[in-house]
Chains A and B, each alone.
Chain A
Amino acid sequence: MTSAGRRVLVVEDETLVLINLEDILEQLGWSIAAQAMRLPEAERLASSVEALDVAILDVNIGGAKVFPAAQILRERGVPILFATGYGRDGLPPEWQDHAVIAKPYSQADIERALDRLLGADV
């Protein structure tokens, strides 16, 4: 998969986890189009950042749930990868059919999850 120049939106409220994810995505050749650590910012970016190829969303951000931002992205047709310490159990029924990655994750986990979500032959 060639990720060069492809754009990802990242929402993650814990700094260290975000730093790690940024590094992983850069290693994989992704370009971080925008990042948010709090829900209002996440919602704003979800509707305003253009040309997104994918979004990686932490489920619980600062005591709130990320779903309002996820809803905006879903309506835009942006593929979503949820990341949560709860694994798939952390998702309510209406989001169960979306891709999930359990924390903690490795670079290989992220690469596999994005390949599966976006198709390995892109």
Chain B
Amino acid sequence: MAELDFARIFEALPSPFMILDRDLCYVAANSAYQEVVGTPFDRLKGQNLFALFPNEGEAGERLRQSFERVLATGKPDTLAYINYPITDADGTVTNRYWTAVHVPLTDSDGTVQHVMQNTVDVTDLVRMREATTLPYGSISAATRLIERTRETEASSAEFRRLFQQAPAFFAVLSGPTHVFTFTSDSYIKLIGGRNVIGQAIAQAMPEIVEQGFVELLDRVYSEGHVHAAEGARVMLENEPGQPPKETFLDFSYNPIRDGAGNITGVFVQGMDRTESVRAARRQRLLIDELNHRVKNTLATVQSIASQTLRSTSDFAQARRSLEARIMALSNAHTMLSDRHWHDAELGHLVCQELSAFGDEQVDYGGPALVVNAKTTVALALVLHEMAANAARHGALSVPEGNLAVRWHRDGEGQLVLEWIERNGPTPAETVRQGFGSRLLRMVVTGELGGGLDLNYDQNGLRARLSIPATAYAEQEARFD
């Protein structure tokens, strides 16, 4: 059997090959390479690559680093895509794009003596790609990677691993029925761990058929355009045996072409955006809700200020009342904020308003009773007005007066609160018609749809508030 003449084979390879020594000087280059760089080998031989083809830019740096990696690690290195201008024999500079694989050539000790480079000029491919609209740069780079993979089987294992483990998802569909021939780990996770290799997509993932994705693939396959979508809503069976779930994807379908330019399949890639889409939705809702609450709180404060200023011409008194009312509102908000604006306990609300008075004058108690946020704010203001009135005009305005507050839940689930003042002065007509009374009546009978018994006798105020369960019970309360 005749010895194979490797030098001749090297020379005859249709793809450009060249070999550099450790100083990055040319020791060999086949004719395909000489043709591509427009330079005969006698002008390459012994010359430093970067001296001959200077490139101070990022591309030159990447190329140099790739060679250094090969020299340092003894492992092949691949540049999927590199922009590198070439000066032709006649001196004209043309901008060209390359895919380069760098392979170490070692001596018997395993020391890297040479680096062999195989390049593929992908300039035409890049220009073709630039003519189509791509949603983001990584798509075209990734497409080139796959196309490069098809051209250079030598490094396909490396590419495969790269794609297999990538955080973005990838799949390769082959032929007119879109049969899965490759799926990345992240793609498998996205589709609920289904083993789809070797199956047509319509059989492997029946849930996407009526969502129009197979038709889309058909169009990409037959027309050769790129289909890209951002934040597309897809119902996907992403847990085994579970009904399809709403998923949001950035994805693209890119046609895969063979050497002759015929479409052989579709390259699928994308990112699962479901979490970020949901997070953005939640955030939007929260911002709207916050804005809404702030506006309503301002409307409430506006009303408090207006009512306070209208009720007296004594500015010192108006200031004290205004501060106290705003503090009562603020305390209710603090209480709600501590419980994520859900609810508060009635006992805490009563305690907040009455704790300033001594035990010998004020007595209150009742079972633990949780009320929703709306009722919390409403009752906080009402209890504040009742306490303020008692202190200024009622039983708590005289040393011998006292107040008892009792609450319970009655047989119909109503919240019943009794406010009983004793040994106080007889309430004046102004108190009965004042802001506190008006607020009390409107909150209890209007806002909370409950019942109110008000009794002003010579002992002071006796009030019985009954609030239906539908009004105070825990719920998703909103404010407006």
Give the B-binding residues of A (Cβ under 8 A). Answer: 13-20, 23, 35, 37-38, 41, 58-63, 84-86, 89-90, 102-105
Contacts and interface: CB of A to CB of B under 8 A. Distances in A.
A63 B470 CA distance: 12
Interface stretch (B131-139, B155-163, B290-298): B290-298
Interface stretch (B119-127, B144-152, B259-267, B472-480): B472-480
A20 B306 contact: yes
Given A17-B303, A85-B291, A86-B288, A63 B296 contact: no
A60 B479 contact: yes
B303 A85 contact: no
12 contacts: A13-B447, A14-B296, A17-B303, A20-B302, A20-B303, A37-B447, A37-B449, A38-B449, A60-B480, A62-B374, A86-B288, A104-B298
B303 A19 contact: yes
A14 B300 contact: yes
Contacts of A63: 374, 475-478
A104 B439 contact: no
Interface in B452-475: 471, 475
A21 B131 CA distance: 62
Contacts of B381: 15-16
B405 interface: no
The 5 closest A-B CB pairs, nearest first, are A60-B480, A85-B295, A20-B303, A104-B299, A16-B303
Contacts of A17: 296, 299-300, 303
A19 B307 contact: yes
B298 A103 contact: yes
Given A62-B374, A85-B292, 20 more contacts: A13-B447, A15-B381, A15-B439, A17-B299, A19-B303, A19-B442, A20-B302, A37-B446, A37-B447, A37-B449, A38-B446, A60-B479, A62-B471, A84-B480, A85-B291, A85-B296, A89-B288, A103-B299, A104-B295, A105-B299
Contacts of B294: 85
A38 B288 CA distance: 23
A120 to B, nearest CB: 25
A19 B302 CA distance: 11
A85 B480 contact: yes
A102 B291 CA distance: 12
Nearest to B300: A16
Interface string B256-291: 000000000000000000000000000000001001
Interface of B: 288, 291-296, 298-300, 302-304, 306-307, 310, 374, 378, 381, 438-439, 442-443, 446-447, 449, 471, 475-480
A16 B443 CA distance: 9
Contacts of A59: 480
A18 to B, nearest CB: 7
A23 B479 CA distance: 21
B329 to A, nearest CB: 9
A14 B299 contact: yes
A38 B438 CA distance: 18
Nearest to B445: A37
B46 to A, nearest CB: 73
B480 A58 contact: yes
Contacts of A20: 299, 302-303, 306-307
A41 B369 CA distance: 27
A95 to B, nearest CB: 15
Contacts of A14: 296, 299-300, 447, 479-480
Nearest to B475: A63
A23 B310 contact: yes
B212 to A, nearest CB: 26
A18 B442 contact: yes
A15 B476 contact: no
Nearest to B439: A15
A60 B447 contact: no
Contacts of A86: 288, 291-292, 295
B338 to A, nearest CB: 22
B203 to A, nearest CB: 41
A113 to B, nearest CB: 15
A99 to B, nearest CB: 17
A21 B303 CA distance: 9
Contact of A104 (B291, B302, B307): B302
Nearest to B294: A85
B296 A103 contact: yes
A3 B379 CA distance: 35
A105 B300 CA distance: 11
Contacts of B288: 86, 89
A16 B296 CA distance: 10
Given A63-B478, A85-B292, A102-B295, A16 B439 contact: yes
Nearest to A58: B480
B284 to A, nearest CB: 11
B200 to A, nearest CB: 42
Given A85-B291, A86-B292, A103-B299, A19 B438 contact: yes
Nearest to A89: B288
A14, A35, A41, A58 — which one has the most chain B CB atoms within 10 A of its CB? Answer: A14
Contacts of B443: 15
Contacts of A62: 374, 447, 471
Contacts of A60: 478-480
Contacts of B303: 16-17, 19-20
B101 to A, nearest CB: 56
